[in-house]
Amino acid sequence: MTVYDELVARGLIAQVTDEKEIKELVNNGKAVFYIGFDPTADSLHVGHFMALCLMKRLQMAGNKPIALIGGGTAMIGDPSGRTDMRQMMTKETINHNVECFKKQMSRFIDFSDDKALLVNNADWLLDLNYVDVLRDIGPHFSVNRMLTAECYKQRMERGLSFLEFNYMIMQSFDFYTLFQKYGCNMEFGGDDQWSNMLGGTELIRRKLGKDAYAMTINLLLNSEGKKMGKTQSGAVWLDPNKTSPFEFYQYWRNVSDADVLKCLRMLTFLPLEQIDEMDKWEGSQLNQAKEILAFELTKLVHGEEEAKKAEEGAKALFAGGGNTDNMPTTVLAADDFREDAIDILTLLVKSGLSASRNEARRAVEQGGVSLDGEKVTDIKATFEKTTFSGDGVVVKRGKKNFRKITL
């Protein structure tokens, strides 16, 4: 099976500009490709996972990835998939986020010996002369055609700022610059970026008379058509300080039966033959598939040692065995207690299992709270300080939210 055929078999490819040429480049290790990442936060998240895995997969096949950090485009903000304008960030915040991205990307991509490049579009975008850009680049973009792009159509009813309207031009200029500077012949991105990517291939053709190619990858959607990578408490981050390796593991362990095999194909590096065998699995076997998925992805992001710890913590919680040291833990302070006792509502709020006492009250009243396996139904229940000594206790809210509570 060729590299390109494997990408198709894994369900990764959405749209391509010229399949024959792209096959030739990718299969023979001749693709110098880039994927852009706007540093809108101080950590990459699960939404970036597909792109990072694709970069790793293609680099393993001899192709050269360019990770483009959008230090310049982040000053504008991508309107794709947005119903409102992104919050403007300071240069200092963007630069901090760029440094965080670089560190996390190194877990996926080998930047040694010129095997990959990491560049920042702030290096060329921030010094552009406005009039020069209008004269040099502007004539190659049709406003009529731009307004038919999906990323703009969604915003026209609510209002699209001129600031955001320039995003497509900036992204196209990136491809144009990378083509000339680094011989970049291909751009990859999420399927919601298609219009912006075509802008880049067209600009290269018009300005340089040469061919460049674009390929979009399918967005990571669950069986209900919603983007994966979100929980009740927000995004699932790759930074262990924002989403612990255990919580990361649990996110993937808890995907639905309908999604687990798709995630194994799209995100892991397990052989397709092994995953195809799992197609026959049913019932409890699908739980085993979820454990494999969770372990493989946690290993990829956080390393094998952290993956093993997370796996052990999960077994301790759900199978009644293993080491509880690796569970998410809340340490109670002396001032959390009143007369050496703490009530259940305060405990739920302090542990982060509930956002407020009202939310905690509802959880108890609905029968969704337990302490070391014992259901708590009294909203006035209190627990002595000594309850939390030693190894502590495990407080659980619902089926999937829990904390070990210690002193």
Region of 214 please: left (phi>0), alpha (psi -120 to 50) or beta: beta
What letter represents residue 272's amino acid?
A: L
What are the tens digits of pLDDT across the range 236-256? 899 998 888 988 998 999 899
Query: In which band, very low, low, confident or very high, does the pLDDT at 330 lie, cut at 50, 70 and 90?
Result: confident
C-alpha atoms less than 13 angstroms from C-alpha of 316 in its C-beta half-sphere? 21
Q: Are residues 252 and 266 in the same domain?
A: yes
Rounded distance between C-alpha atoms, residue 176 and residue 162, angstroms: 22
Rounded distance between C-alpha atoms, residue 85 and residue 321, angstroms: 49
> Is there a contact between 176 and 164 (Cβ–Cβ < 8 Å)?
no
What is the domain range of residue 250? Answer: 230-326
Q: Are residues 260 and 113 in the same domain?
A: no
Longest dimension (CA), the chain: 79
Q: Write down the pLDDT at residue 283.
A: 86
Q: Write down the pLDDT at residue 176.
A: 96
Q: Write down the pLDDT at residue 203.
A: 95
Q: Is residue 158 part of a domain?
A: yes
Whether residue 359 has pLDDT greater than 70: yes
Q: Enter the pTM of the model.
A: 0.78
Q: Write down the pLDDT at residue 68.
A: 94
Query: In which band, very low, low, confident or very high, does the pLDDT at 396 lie, cut at 50, 70 and 90?
Result: confident
Query: In which band, very low, low, confident or very high, does the pLDDT at 319 lie, cut at 50, 70 and 90?
Result: low
CATH of the domain at 341: 3.10.290.10
> Is there a contact between 21 and 33 (Cβ–Cβ < 8 Å)?
no
Q: What is the mean pLDDT of the chain?
A: 87
35 Cβ contact partners less than 8 Å away, ≥ 6 residues apart: 51, 54, 55, 65, 66, 67, 68, 187, 188, 189
Whether residue 295 has pLDDT greater than 60: yes
Q: Is residue 67 part of a domain?
A: yes
Q: Is residue 224 part of a domain?
A: no
Q: Which residues pair with 402 in a beta bridge?
A: 396
Q: Write down the pLDDT at residue 181.
A: 97
Write down which residue in 184, 217, 250 finishes a domain: 217
In the numeric block, the tokens 């493989």 are attached to 296
Write down which residue in 194, 217, 240 finishes a domain: 217
Q: Is residue 88 part of a domain?
A: yes
What are the tens digits of pLDDT across the range 62-121? 999 999 998 887 776 544 444 444 456 777 888 888 888 888 888 889 999 999 999 999
CATH of the domain at 45: 3.40.50.620
> Is there a contact between 64 and 118 (Cβ–Cβ < 8 Å)?
no
In the numeric block, the tokens 């012949």 are attached to 185
- 3-class state of residue 211 by DSSP: coil
Tokens of 298: 């946690």
317 Cβ contact partners less than 8 Å away, ≥ 6 residues apart: 324, 327, 394, 402
C-alpha atoms less than 13 angstroms from C-alpha of 395 in its C-beta half-sphere? 28
More confident residue, 180 or 86: 180
Q: Are residues 17 and 42 in the same domain?
A: yes
Tokens of 404: 């070990």
Neighbours of 339 (CB within 10 A): 8
Write down which residue in 217, 246, 274 finishes a domain: 217
Q: Are residues 236 and 385 in the same domain?
A: no
Q: Are residues 285 and 385 in the same domain?
A: no
